[in-house]
């Protein structure tokens, strides 16, 4: 079985994505997590470009990494400059890594228009930079930037740049589709040509500007590449880099090529979401393999088939990559969806029980009113348990009031008052917030927390409002979707009304009741 070395560049190339900015602490945490995943290399950054990257290289030495090699990234020497005097190369050496990655120009356009030097000087820049790093006891990975564009314009010169790096001592020649404009079939032909002409390990670094970075990477491996570069979740400039969270399971499961262990493959979904969290990026639900929708089934026919044999509608077992199967509840649901959800929740339902028919009837009525439960599974679980008389009310609302006041100093103040009853005891609280919904949330928590301390751990993670019938103007119904979380779980709830405050209230109540229900069930299991 061919072994592929995975080279992660999330901390350098991925950090160039719009909206992504890793702190030095973030980068250290990500490096530790990727080390546990079993990658061969982690590109820590470009020490010659900014102090934050150099700080990472100083601090990463303190980590006890198990096997991954941290690499410093940088360019060949500047035109007309001696390698010993080049600031960029000096900074790479100061980073103190065993491995360095040097990129050089393969495309005459870049040599002429960007570097503004001669083709001969560019070859010297490549060979002298690689040789210098080798003389300083560094292993060198050479990134042939814009290689495929360069090859298509002038094959012989592009090949000369590779030979210059190889003869100077480069350990691996990485062919880069830097502009992301090469399609898989032509990339395969070029890889085949290079493999036959160059006697050295080859790698691939693909960008996604044409939407084929993953496909190009897999094609490159099929034609002999043994070193694969990419980023977690496909982060990168413009349309991003090749997504390692898609590449790795394709290599291992579909192509039978070893790159990480089976156990570590099962951590892939968690790692994907971990990096999203540190990047403060919303997780892409439809991401292949690791997205929350990657194994989600909605249509009743699909659900019925999945119950009988999951392979009918799933290309792999979700647990292989640490993901899970989800059955969505919607107006397309049949009894199979309801029964599947009931089984997940250990609820005793079958297709002929009155409760099943009642749940399905209520579901369709609510969705006609504008409810959606696909991202509000907590609200749907409460609906099922109410229908089965398995849910109790944790509090009764006597009333709430929300006011928004514009004051003389131009400050906008939101204040909410909530009156509730818990086990015959009344609570009346007032709270201010950043907006009316936040104030309402704070007042409800304040009222309930003396009775239910566990509420203190709940926080609102996301708040979405959708206008359901825009033609109705300000009288339109709105759907509010809340995402809540505590230290262990994330759950979604939903509310619908012509009044956004009321819709938000329904979603807030479901969020709180779901948390309290989980706490009660946890205590029951502990008895």
User: For residue 317, which of 273, 270, 266, 243 has the smallest C-alpha distance?
Assistant: 266
Residues 164 and 310 in one domain: no
Identify whether 287 is part of a domain. Answer: no
**CATH, residue 181:** 3.20.20.70
Residues 102 and 153 in one domain: yes
Residues 315 and 237 in one domain: no
- Examine the fold and report which residue of 387, 413, 431 is the final residue of a domain before the chain moves on: 387
**CATH, residue 322:** 1.10.238
Residues 383 and 517 in one domain: no
> How remote is the C-alpha of 179 from its chain's centroid?
23
Between residues 465 and 112, the one the model is more confident about:
112
Sign for the CA dihedral angle at 297, 321, 1, 39 comes to: positive
Instruction: Mark residue 55 as left, alpha or beta (left: phi above 0; alpha: psi -120 to 50; beta: remaining).
Output: alpha
Q: Residue length, the chain?
A: 527
Query: For the residues of 422-460, what is the DSSP string, one character each?
Result: ETTEEEEEEEEESSHHHHHHHHHHHHHTTT-GGGGG-EE
Residues 17 and 157 in one domain: yes
Identify whether 277 is part of a domain. Answer: no
Phi, psi of 328 (to 5 degrees): -85, 150
Do 493 and 484 touch, CB atoms closer than 8 A? yes
Residues 434 and 480 in one domain: yes
Identify whether 272 is part of a domain. Answer: no
Between residues 89 and 459, the one the model is more confident about:
89
What is the band of 341 on the pLDDT scale with cuts at 50, 70, 90? low
Residues 353 and 423 in one domain: no
Residue-wise pLDDT for 392-413, tens only, equals: 789 999 999 999 988 778 888 8
Identify whether 288 is part of a domain. Answer: no
**Sheet of 478-485, strands arranged across:** 459-467, 478-485, 490-497
Between residues 331 and 284, the one the model is more confident about:
284
Residues 433 and 337 in one domain: no
Identify whether 271 is part of a domain. Answer: no
Separation of first and last alpha carbons in the chain: 51
3-class secondary structure, 299: coil
Rounding to the nearest 10 degrees, give the CA dihedral for residues 386, 295, 20, 26: 80
Residue-wise pLDDT for 50-74, tens only, equals: 788 899 999 999 888 988 999 999 9
What percent of the chain clears pLDDT 90, i.e. is strictly above it? 60
Identify whether 207 is part of a domain. Answer: yes
Give the separation between CA 155 and CA 496, rounded to whole angstroms.
62
Residues 440 and 334 in one domain: no
In the prediction, which pLDDT does 526 show? 55
In the prediction, which pLDDT does 414 show? 92
Identify whether 325 is part of a domain. Answer: yes
In the prediction, which pLDDT does 332 show? 47
pTM of the predicted model as reported, rounded to 2 decimal places: 0.70
Residues 356 and 211 in one domain: no
3-class secondary structure, 420: strand
Residues 245 and 300 in one domain: no
Residue-wise pLDDT for 492-502, tens only, equals: 899 999 999 99
Placement of tokens 């870049």 in the chain: 110
Query: For the residues of 178-222, what is the DSSP string, one character each?
Result: TT----HHHHHHHHHHHHHH--S-EEEEEB-TTS-HHHHHHHHHH
Do 397 and 419 touch, CB atoms closer than 8 A? yes
Give the separation between CA 233 and CA 244, rounded to whole angstroms.
7
CA angle 456, 406, 466 (to 5 degrees): 60
Given a cut of 60, is residue 330 above it in pLDDT?
no
Domain that holds residue 216: 5-260
User: For residue 442, which of 430, 450, 427, 451 has the smallest C-alpha distance?
Assistant: 430
Give the separation between CA 403 and CA 414, rounded to whole angstroms.
6
Record the tokens describing residue 378, joined without a space. Answer: 């907590």
Residues 378 and 440 in one domain: no
Record the tokens describing residue 130, joined without a space. Answer: 């690689």
What's the total number of domains in the chain? Answer: 3
Give the separation between CA 511 and CA 504, rounded to whole angstroms.
10
Q: Residue 43, Cβ neighbours under 10 Å: how many?
A: 26
pLDDT mean across residues, the chain: 88
């Amino acid at each position: 079985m061919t072994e592929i070395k995975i080279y992660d560049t999330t901390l350098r190339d991925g950090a160039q994505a719009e909206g992504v900015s890793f702190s030095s602490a973030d980068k250290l945490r990500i490096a530790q997590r990727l080390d546990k995943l079993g990658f061969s290399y982690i590109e820590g950054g470009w020490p010659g470009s900014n102090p934050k990257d150099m700080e990472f290289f100083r601090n990463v030495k303190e980590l006890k990494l198990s096997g991954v090699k941290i690499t410093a990234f940088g360019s060949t020497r500047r035109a007309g400059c001696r390698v010993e005097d080049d600031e960029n190369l000096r900074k790479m050496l100061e980073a103190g890594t065993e491995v360095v990655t040097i990129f050089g120009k393969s495309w005459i356009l870049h040599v002429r228009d960007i570097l503004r030097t001669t083709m001969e000087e560019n070859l010297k820049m490549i060979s002298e930079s690689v040789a210098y790093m080798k003389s300083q006891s560094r292993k060198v990975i050479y990134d042939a930037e814009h290689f495929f564009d360069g090859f298509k314009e002038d094959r012989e010169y592009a090949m000369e740049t590779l030979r210059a790096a190889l003869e100077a001592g480069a350990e691996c020649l990485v062919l880069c589709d830097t502009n992301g404009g090469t399609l898989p079939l032509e990339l395969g032909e070029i890889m085949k040509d290079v493999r036959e002409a160059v006697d050295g390990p080859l790698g691939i670094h693909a960008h996604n500007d044409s939407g084929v970075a993953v496909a190009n990477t897999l094609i490159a491996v099929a034609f002999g590449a043994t070193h694969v570069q990419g980023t977690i979740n496909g982060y990168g400039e413009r349309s991003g880099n090749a997504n390692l969270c898609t590449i790795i399971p394709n290599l291992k499961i579909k192509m039978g090529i070893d790159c990480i262990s089976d156990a570590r493959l099962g951590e892939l979904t968690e790692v994907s979401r971990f990096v999203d969290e540190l990047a403060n990026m919303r997780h892409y639900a439809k991401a292949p393999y690791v997205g929350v929708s990657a194994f989600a089934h909605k249509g009743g026919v699909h659900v019925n088939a999945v119950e009988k044999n999951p392979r009918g509608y799933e290309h792999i077992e979700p647990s292989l990559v640490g993901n899970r199967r989800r059955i969505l509840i919607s107006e397309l649901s049949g009894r199979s969806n309801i029964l599947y959800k009931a089984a997940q929740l250990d609820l005793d339902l079958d297709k002929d029980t009155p409760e099943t028919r009642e749940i399905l009837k209520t579901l369709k009525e609510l969705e006609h009113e504008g409810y959606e439960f696909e991202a509000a599974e907590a609200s749907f679980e409460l609906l099922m348990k109410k229908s089965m008389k398995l849910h109790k009310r944790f509090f009764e609302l006597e009333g709430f009031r929300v006011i928004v006041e514009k004051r003389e100093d131009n400050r906008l103040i939101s204040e909410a008052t909530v009156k509730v009853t818990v086990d015959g005891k009344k609570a009346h609280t007032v709270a201010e917030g950043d907006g009316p919904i936040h104030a309402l949330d704070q007042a409800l928590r304040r009222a309930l927390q003396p009775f239910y301390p566990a509420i203190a751990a709940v926080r609102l993670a996301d708040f979405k409002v959708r206008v359901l019938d825009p033609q109705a103007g300000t009288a339109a119904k709105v759907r509010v979707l809340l995402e809540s979380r505590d230290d262990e779980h994330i759950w979604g709830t939903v509310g619908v009304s012509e009044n956004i405050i009321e819709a938000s209230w329904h979603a807030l109540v479901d969020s709180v009741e779901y948390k309290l229900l989980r706490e009660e069930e946890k205590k029951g299991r502990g008895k």
